[in-house]
Amino acid sequence: MMREGRKQPGQRQVGDRQAAVALNAKTWPGEVPQVTAVGFGKNAEKILELAFANDVKVRQDKDLTAILAAMEVGSPVPLEALAAVSEILAYLYRAGGAPAASTTVAENGDEPTTSAEGDLYGQP
């Protein structure tokens, strides 16, 4: 469980709120991944808590989070974010053969604690 007032890797500040976005990474060939969850504040913490508890990879990315957090749940990833999302999915395929059912994208205002790859997180 995350402590109040302490930011974990993958949390984003939007004004005075944190944000997190989850994507459906398992799509049919040719389909665009979809936004499956968007959360701010406590909801962002819950998204990240569930991601970490289920070994879903979390990426810290301020710009990508801003784009995806503006989307409606169920929307396909927009064209301007597709290249970044594709890079994340390609990394996951190279690292483990296939991404989990979800990938969580978030941003942290502090200096990140990074993995060997520099931007993906597992358990906090």
Residue 92 scores a pLDDT above 50: yes
Helices (H), the chain: 42-53, 62-69, 79-96
The answer to whether residue 123 scores a pLDDT higher than 70 is no
Query: pLDDT value at position 8?
Result: 45
Alpha-carbon distance of 61 to 12, in angstroms, equals 9
* Residue showing tokens 């944190």: 18
- Domains (range + CATH), the chain: 12-109 (3.40.1690.10)
* Angstrom distance (rounded) from CA 20 to CA 44: 5
Is 0.85 surpassed by the pTM of this model?
A: no
| pLDDT tens column, 94-106 | 877 555 555 566 6
Strand pairing category for 58-60 and 102-106? parallel
pLDDT, averaged across the chain: 71
Encoded tokens for 76: 């396909």
* Confidence check: pLDDT of 75 > 90: yes
Q: What is the pLDDT of residue 84?
A: 92
For 79-90, how does the pLDDT look when each residue is reduced to its tens digit (9 = 90+)?
999 999 988 888
Cβ burial of 80 (10 Å; 0-12, 13-18, 19+) is exposed
